Structure 1
Amino acid sequence: MKAVAVYPGKPHSIHLREIEPPQLDSIPGGRGVLVRSLEIGVDATDREINEALYGNAPTGFDYLVLGHESFGIVEAVGPNVKDLQPGDYVSCTVRRPGGSIYDQIGRNDITSEETYYERGINLRHGFLTERWVDDCEFMVKVPKQLKHLGVLSEPASVCAKAIEQAYLAQQRLQVWKPEVAYVMGSGQIGLLSTMMLRLKGLEVYTVARSRKAGNKKAEIAEAYGATYVSTAETPLDQLVKQTGKPQLIVEATGSSQLAFQAMEVLSHNGALVWTSITGGQGTATVPSDKINLEWVLGNKLLVGSVNGNRRHFELGIQALAHGELAFPGVTEKLLTTRVDGLENYAELIRRLVEDKEAIKVYLRVTSD
């Protein structure tokens, strides 16, 4: 069957290839689930893997099948699968267990091992293919009523985890009730985070570079009840004078320089969550003495959050459902850029790289 893959370490090596069809009995214990791909999302991670900034092939292969944002329909299940049946819509978690104690208790999303295993990213093939098989442990059911948003399951899990991590860590303060939040970046992670923070009742400022006029991302942010702020029109320090320092910042810019810049505007007792993954060798100059002083004296917290486990996927899907009720039809506007058919992989990566207006780029593999 067809799959879209790269040769890790070789820049711009994305290609279409034939691979062996997945076998249900390849999953031990009768726990396998065979899924036909419907829609597979791509993002900056896929772009950077194709640029050879990171990513590794599974042992015994010289290629890596791309795709970590999955959505499909179940075609068959093993005899010991109890909660899924053919016809169910599902997404699938990305990271697979290693050998640390965290992996052993089902928290492979926070493995303490240097080597990690992620489908479509590192040492495990991804979902950008016609069909795939995995253990039912990693499958998450998507309600039929949400199938139009199913391809957002993985990014929603990232946002749900990032926000949860901030609130969990801030239990150190005993009383923490943030009122003002900044979301840095207006891509899919930024906008979904905006939605989830608005559902929590926070006053949210979605901060990005693009000007507001005629900006679809700005329209979506404000449809969620947030305030869109263009740094080209209102610099970050000026925004802080208007709003006061935020108690919570979710950084989702994809820029390490902006990630560090966010450290300069956080309030006392505040939490900053970094979600960006930046491949490459970029450097930035920061006022390190000032940041050091203010963060120590201000009891500020920095949390790195990546990946999500099954529960985070479930939280993300719940948030998508809640968002549909609170802001009908808004989230679907993130689905800006669809490409049809695995054979059109070149167009998929072109739109991902070149289309600056795109929010969510995804491939429709088959129809249900």
Structure 2
Amino acid sequence: MKAIAVTPGKKHSAQVVEARRPSVADVPDGRGVLVKVLRVGVDGTDREINDAQYGRAPAGEPYLILGHENFGQVEAVGPAVTELAPGDFVVATVRRPGRSLYDAIGTQDMTTDDVYLERGINLLHGFLSEHYVDSADHVVAVPRGAREVGVLLEPLTVVEKGIAQAYEIQRRLRVWHPRRAAVLGAGTIGLLATLVLRLRGFDVTTFGKAPRPNRNASLVEALGARYVITSETSVPDASRRDGAYDLVLEASGFSPLVFDGMEALAKNGVLVLSSVTGGERRIEVDADRLNLGFVLGNKVMVGTVNANREYFEQGVRDLAHAESAHPGWLASLLTHPVKGLDRVSELFDKLNGGARDAIKVYCEVAAS
């Protein structure tokens, strides 16, 4: 079967390869699920792996099949699978259990292992292929009514986890009723965060760098949230003008905004970090004042990355909710399709900025 793979450690090596077609028998205990891949989203992780910044092939393999944002349709199941059937639409989770205690209880997204097992990222093949097989334990059903937007489930789970973790942490307060939220960044994750927070009833301000008019600002405002341009109003200035935020979700990819988020956070507030940033950027901050505000204000900062099955299942519920509350909104994020696995250059050109106003670039692997 065809797949898009890289040679780990070799820059810009993404190419079409001929890979072995998997079988349900590849999974022990009769729990295999064979999936025909329909769509795969690409993001900065795929770009960075193709830039040879990280990523390792499975043991004994010369290449790593890319792709972690997946959506497909079940073709066959093993004899011990009762929860899925041929024809079902599905999304697979990304990280697989390692050796830590957290992996053993199904929370591999919280692993203390130094080595991650992640499909399409590290030591496990991904989903940019015609088929994949996995255990039913890691495959989540998507209702037919959400089939057009199912490829957004994996990035949505990063948001689901971050918000759920904020509430879990604040159980310590006995009573926590957050009302105001800020989202830093208006890319895919920032837009999905704006959506979920609005579905939860938050008053949301989303900060972006692009001046109006732009597609992302229109999408934010279509949800009843505010769009603020950071070059005109900083995050701390907006919080002083409108009131501090009970929950801040940082999704900008620009690490200095983390400190703006700290400053704009209300007492008993939670700052959720979702950006994975590299480099060696340095800035000056008012460290004593920020520290004092966190200590005296009982504030919390927590990171969110990857997600376990719990957050995928919550994401499915929110996909359905969003389709009902805001019909067509999620589909409008799917801005730049690339038809077929053979068009590798086009896929990465769009991912690398060659597509104007792109929100989500994805590969149409096959039709359902």
What TM-score do the two structures reach when normalised by structure 2? 0.97
Matched to 1:16, the amino acid is: V
Where 2:307 maps in the other structure, the secondary structure is: coil
Distance 1:356 1:45 in 2: 20
Match of 1:332 in 2: 331
Mean Cα deviation higher: 45-54 or 223-232: 45-54
Q: Does 1:124 align with 2:124?
A: yes
Distance 2:125 2:259 in 1: 33
Where 1:352 maps in the other structure, the secondary structure is: helix
Report the alpha carbon displacement of residue 91 of structure 1 after superposing the two structures with TM: 0.3
Contact 1:182 1:248 in 2 (8 A): yes
Note the 1:7-156 alignment, pairs <5 A.
7-156=7-156
Contact 2:236 2:263 in 1 (8 A): no
Where 1:248 maps in the other structure, the secondary structure is: strand
Q: For residues 185-227 of structure 1, what are the alpha-carbon distances to aligned partners after superposition, in whole Å with 9 as ceiling and x for unaligned?
A: 111111111111111111000111111x221101111111111
Report the alpha carbon displacement of residue 45 of structure 1 after superposing the two structures with TM: 1.2
Q: For residues 34-78 of structure 1, what are the alpha-carbon distances to aligned partners after superposition, in whole Å with 9 as ceiling and x for unaligned?
A: 001000011111111112222222222232111001100101100
Matched to 2:67, the amino acid is: G
Report the alpha carbon displacement of residue 356 of structure 1 after superposing the two structures with TM: 5.0
Contact 1:54 1:279 in 2 (8 A): no
Where 2:205 maps in the other structure, the secondary structure is: strand
Distance 1:84 1:340 in 2: 28
Distance 1:98 1:132 in 2: 20
Distance 1:356 1:286 in 2: 34
Give the CA RMSD over aligned residues: 1.3
Distance 1:110 1:286 in 2: 30
Report the alpha carbon displacement of residue 264 of structure 1 after superposing the two structures with TM: 2.1
Match of 1:322 in 2: 321
Distance 1:337 1:315 in 2: 26
Contact 1:157 1:317 in 2 (8 A): no
Contact 1:65 1:128 in 2 (8 A): yes
Match of 1:230 in 2: 229
Contact 2:236 2:260 in 1 (8 A): no
Distance 1:325 1:12 in 2: 41
Distance 2:283 2:59 in 1: 36
Matched to 1:48, the amino acid is: E
Mean Cα deviation higher: 254-263 or 183-192: 254-263
Match of 1:221 in 2: 220
What TM-score do the two structures reach when normalised by structure 1? 0.97
Matched to 2:171, the amino acid is: Q
Distance 1:134 1:199 in 2: 32
Matched to 2:58, the amino acid is: P
Distance 1:15 1:285 in 2: 43
Report the alpha carbon displacement of residue 11 of structure 1 after superposing the two structures with TM: 2.1
Contact 2:235 2:260 in 1 (8 A): no
Mean Cα deviation higher: 334-343 or 276-285: 276-285
Distance 2:273 2:281 in 1: 17
Distance 2:121 2:286 in 1: 34
Contact 1:53 1:280 in 2 (8 A): no
Q: For residues 123-167 of structure 1, what are the alpha-carbon distances to aligned partners after superposition, in whole Å with 9 as ceiling and x for unaligned?
A: 111000110000000000010111011111101211111110111
Change (3 A) 1:285 1:346: farther
Distance 1:116 1:135 in 2: 18
Match of 2:304 in 1: 305
Where 2:359 maps in the other structure, the secondary structure is: coil
Q: Percent identity?
A: 51
Report the alpha carbon displacement of residue 327 of structure 1 after superposing the two structures with TM: 1.3
Where 1:342 maps in the other structure, the secondary structure is: coil
Distance 1:264 1:39 in 2: 40
Distance 1:205 1:130 in 2: 40
Report the alpha carbon displacement of residue 278 of structure 1 after superposing the two structures with TM: 1.7
Change (3 A) 1:356 1:163: farther
Where 1:81 maps in the other structure, the secondary structure is: coil
Contact 1:250 1:274 in 2 (8 A): yes
